[in-house]
Every structure is written in structure tokens, then in C-alpha cells.
A and B are shown apart, each in its own frame.
Chain A
Amino acid sequence: MNVWHFISSHRAEILTATREHLTLVVISMVIAVAVAVPLGLALVTHPRLRSSALALASVFQTIPSLALFGFLIPLPFLGGIGMRTAIVALVLYAILPILRNTYVGLTGIDPAILEAAEAMGMTEQQILFRVRLPLATSFILAGIRTATVITIGVATIAAAIGAGGLGTFIFRGVAMVSDAVILAGAIPAALLALLADFLLGLLERRLRIA
């Protein structure tokens, strides 16, 4: 079966899957950013938590994605079949790149700038929010960009636990041994990833401070 023929005849279905996919990614990224960025800020003022927080975030990264989805299914509240479980897993994956970049960005500031800020009588909070955070913005965005691209890819596996999205076509295609069906899911997913990478890259460059 011809790929383009399949895609054009299933346009509506593919569009719906793409929308589901995007919903999964956007919700997951919003939650991941809301968790990882404040956590990164907290690590600057509580350096003792740093290694354990980064280690915990790394552990989630090492669990194979399919296994993580599987582990989450039996859990109460977070688990089950469907979108909610998928979002939990995607958030766990996205946290590490954002957290790591946030922390590196916040702590990798020219010591002379921090010394000047301290000597001018800025409080720790003021230094964090008025100096460190704005100077770390492009770093944080780079982390969000990496995490988004990863999440778009991993989200295809969410179809395995009934969360929908473009993975639906991929799993169906694997079952049917049909390249055309696999590609009907894989091509839009790849395009989404490229588009997200491009747009976030644009934003990152815009916000970079020379």
C-alpha cells in the first residue's frame, strides 16, 4: 500500500491523532516546566538537595519508556489506562533535561556578576530572581527544547496504554506489518518534533544575552 495514498485517505483520522499527540505533549510539558524550573531554583538555595534531586530525575530517565508506562498502569490515582497515565510518564521523562539545564544555567553565572550583586546589597532572593533567572533563560529554554523533542518521540509509545496520539498508527502498522501505516504515524511525529525544535530554537536565540 502506498504511504501517500494511505495518508490522504485517512487524513481526518491522522489529524485527530496529531491533535491528541499535541495535547499529550503540551500538557506534559506545561507540568514538567512547572515542576522542574521551580525545583531548579530551589536547588540553588538548597545545594544539599542537589545531588539527590538530580539523581532521582536521572533514574526516571533510565527506565525504558515502555516499561515505565507498564509500571504506572497498576498505580492508584496516577495510573490506569489512558491519557492521564501517559502524561505522568511523559512528565517524569521531561523533568531531567529541564531541571539539569535550569540548574546549570542558574549556577553557571560569571562570578564577578554575582559578587557585584552581593556587594550592592541584593538579597539572596533578589539575586536569584533578578540576576540568575534572567541570565539563565536561554539555558532553561534549551532544556525545554530538548525535553519537548524527546517527549514528542516518547509520546508515540503512549498509544500502547490507550492514550491515543500518533503512536496509534505506529502500533497498528507494526501489527499489520505495513510500512505505510507505520509511516502515517511516524512522519507527522517527526515533523512535529522538527517544528517544535525549530520554533523553540528561534525563541532561545531571541532571548539569549550576548
Chain B
Amino acid sequence: MTETIIEFRDVEYRIDIRASHPILSGVSLKIHQGETVALLGRSGSGKTTMLKLINRLRNCTAGDLLVEGKSIGDWDPIRLRRRIGYVIQEVGLFPHFTIEQNVGLVPRLENWPTDRFYSRYCEVMQMVGLSGEQYATKYPRELSGGQRQRVGVARALAADPAILLMDEPFGALDPVTRAELQQEFLSLEHRVSKTVVIVTHDLREALLLGTRVVLLDSGRIVAEASSKEFLKLDQPVAREFIAASELVPGAAK
């Protein structure tokens, strides 16, 4: 369980080389196989950018980033992305595809044998608590927000990636649906043992879902702790988060 799968080595990211303020700087972090790392931070802290560096939606401007031991620059971005599941708050389901086509996209791009599409589709739909058969020919617009987000997760899992990146995946849902999906995600995590990097601005969510919490502030990692230890941190930004989420210090989940 201690094998490093993603490693940030003094990573810097600037939108523009000449820009004075980097979005990220001096970021070093090792993410181990099978753990769930929650990247916590305020808006603009660079957490989403950090996530996008992992599947090369953005490219580091300095430092190095290793995925499965290989430098990010040596990965073909297309190959890399097909091995990494990606879930975003807006879901981004293709409105002109049925649910089955949405979920089966990466397996299709990867030329899986046709007879495996449907069984895999049903399998991942079941993982997110939906009946594959019932939704196969439906279109995204026929689904509720919670169902769409589940399909988004199923789509990310379809090609059985080792890494799952999630950007505020439950941020747009009502509190009840969000709590429901968080619980399902936890049980899913136990079953599939993926390496998950999840971006959130919600400390409760970070502590609930993450095995480790990494706190970002103005493009730097300012604190890092296991979710059990996080509430004991003295770091000022961490204290601000703890105070704002009205969690009693020391009373972890």
C-alpha cells in the first residue's frame, strides 16, 4: 500500500511564463497507491490546477510530476488520460449520447471487444447504485442531478483506471443527495481500492472521504495530515478551516 503512484516534485504552474504570480509553486507531494487524498483549499488556492496537472489538462511550468513512476512529459496525454478517471462538479455528460454510450465511451475509444461493453456498463452502474438496464437508452436530460453525478462517476470508472481524480464531485447537489453520494462513495472506495485525489473546499467532506488531507493556500501546500490528525493542526489556515466548519477541535468525524 505504500507504493507511490503520483509524485509532485517541486512543481510550479503559471498560466503565462511572464506572469509574476504562479498559480502553484514549490508543490511536492507523494500520493500512494490506494489512498484517498483530499486537496482542501479556498477558491483560487490552486487545488483544481493541481488536479489538472495529473492528467495533463494543464502542464507544469517547472519541477516534475511522476505518474506510475514515469515523468508526466513522457506520457502521451491521450494514453495517460484514458488510464485516469475524471469526475467534475458539472459532470459534463454528453447530451447527445445515451447513458450507456456516455459510460461506455472510454472502453469504446480503447477498442474493447463489443461483448464486454454492456456487461462492464452494468457493472459500473451497479457500483454507483443505478440499474444499468433501466437507464441504458435514456439521455442525460432525463436524469436528476444526483443520478447524473452517479453516471459521471460510473463513466470515470468504466475503463477501470488505477487513479480517479474528482473535482468537487458533490458540490452542486442538495445536502441530502450529497450526503447519500458521499456515503456511497465511501463504500465504493472500500470495494474498488483506487487511488483517489479529490478536490474540495469543504473540510467535513475532506475528513469524511479522505484518508489524508492536503491543505493548499495561495498555490502552496501549507499543511498535510491524516484525516484523524487534521483537527489537531496548529497551522493558521487549517485553524481557519476548522473554525469555519464549526467542527469541535479534536472531535474527528
Contacts and interface: CB of A to CB of B under 8 A. Distances in A.
Interface of A: 110, 112-123, 126, 131, 134-135, 209-210
Interface in B178-209: none
Contacts of A117: 92, 94
B72 to A, nearest CB: 15
B57 A118 contact: yes
Interface in B72-88: 77-82, 84, 86, 88
A122 B78 CA distance: 7
Contacts of B81: 118-121
A132 to B, nearest CB: 11
Nearest to B105: A120
A113 B57 CA distance: 14
B92 A110 contact: yes
A116 B109 contact: no
A115 B92 CA distance: 7
B90 interface: yes
Contacts of B38: none
Contacts of B90: 110, 112
A210 B109 contact: no
Contact of B88 (A115, A123, A134): A115
B237 interface: no
A126 B91 CA distance: 19
B141 interface: yes
Given A119-B81, A120-B81, A134-B96, A112 B57 contact: no
Nearest to A113: B92
Which are the 9 A-B pairs with shortest beta-carbon distances? A116-B92, A112-B90, A121-B81, A121-B82, A119-B86, A112-B92, A134-B96, A113-B92, A121-B78
B55 A126 contact: no
B92 A131 contact: no
B106 interface: yes
Contacts of B79: 121
B63 interface: no
A134 B77 CA distance: 24
A112 B87 CA distance: 10
A209 B81 CA distance: 27
B95 interface: yes
B78 A210 contact: no
B93 interface: yes
A116 B95 contact: no
Contacts of A123: 78
B92 A121 contact: no
Given A112-B88, A116-B86, A116-B91, A122 B109 contact: yes
B109 A121 contact: yes
Given A118-B81, A120-B81, A120-B106, A135 B95 contact: yes
A113 B95 contact: yes
Contacts of B94: 113, 116-117, 131
A135 B95 CA distance: 8
Nearest to A115: B92
Q: Which of A113, A117, A131 has the most CB of B within 10 A?
A: A113
Interface hub of B55, B57, B95, B106 (most chain A Cβ within 10 A): B95
Contacts of B55: 119
Contacts of A116: 86, 88, 91-94
Interface string B50-84: 00000101000000000000000000011111101
